[in-house]
Copies of this chain bind each other. A is one copy, B any other.
Amino acid sequence: MLDKAGITNWFKELQDSICTKLEKADGLGRFQEDIWQRPEGGGGRSRVMTHGNVIEKGGVNFSAVEGALPEKISQALKLGKADFYATGVSIVLHPSNPWVPIIHMNIRYFETQGESGSTWWFGGGIDLTPHYVNQEDAKYFHQQLKAVCDRHNFDHYPKYKKWADDYFYLKHRNETRGVGGIFFDRLNDGEDSKEALFIFVKDVGLAFAPIYTHYMGKYGNQPFGQPHKDWQKIRRGRYVEFNLVWDKGTKFGLDTNGRTESILMSMPPEAIWEYNHIPAKGSLEAKTVKMLEKGIDWINI
């Protein structure tokens, strides 16, 4: 019988496994662990790496929080007064080399019991934010995700790919955050059983390390110059904007009084804002901006 304890434990094991693989691929950086308690219930195990060979700053966080659902969230979710339990693994990695993309992955399980009954769902997503968009790399990323999705349901990839395009979008910039990926939320039993949904979510989680270590190995030692580094910092500024203005996970964390340093591990080590920066016509930077669009079929581009 699949219960929250089983899901929670698997998430913890996934965190262990991903950290081990990333440390191995990085070769230098080690994760620093911080265990934290949430005053209202639950807590987490944050693991942050800084100053690695490839990873300049990154977090692989596990948390399992519970208690009374804050009003702001129960209103937004139209749940009434309720108790909740939320557990998940969240990852954001900022590489030092601008040729290596930023990556984000999150898988989560949420359940609630209250006045209007009880409910549960899974959610998650994984998306890639290259500082320089490269079609081959974007294609590889989407191929891996499609393979994961297709093992479960041929409808998943197109549906969740579109969802990611819509979710990882900076409305105030008319830009996608990067080349997208997959995003899904509120998956509960209907067509698929809870057990089947969890297998899908696990498969997404297990896809993370091989995908990212591929880019670490491919670009971690590629030479770059100051202009590339400057552009990386501008794109990191956009990453900050997305996470603080639009990201629902960040909002949920801050609204549920999660540990701020763990939630904001997603912030880049360094970002710049240049007023009205417009990349030179025909430059690699301009080409990147042109590809920050919804709806690109990266697999068949």
A interface residues, Cβ below 8 angstroms from B: 32, 34, 48, 50, 57, 59, 171-173, 233, 237, 240-241, 244-245, 254, 260-261, 263-265, 267-276
Contacts and interface: CB of A to CB of B under 8 A. Distances in A.
Nearest to A171: B254
User: How many identical subunits does the complex contain?
Assistant: 2
A275 B270 contact: no
Contacts of A172: 254, 260, 263
Contact of A272 (B173, B260, B261, B269): B269
Contacts of A245: 244, 254
A50 B264 contact: no
Contacts of A276: 34, 48, 261
Given A244-B245, A254-B245, A267 B260 contact: no
Given A173-B260, A244-B240, A245-B254, A265 B271 contact: no
Given A172-B254, A254-B172, A261 B275 contact: yes
A138 to B, nearest CB: 25
Contact of A270 (B48, B241, B264, B270): B270
A263 B245 CA distance: 13
B267 A48 contact: no
Most central of A59, A245, A261, A276 by chain B CB within 10 Å: A276
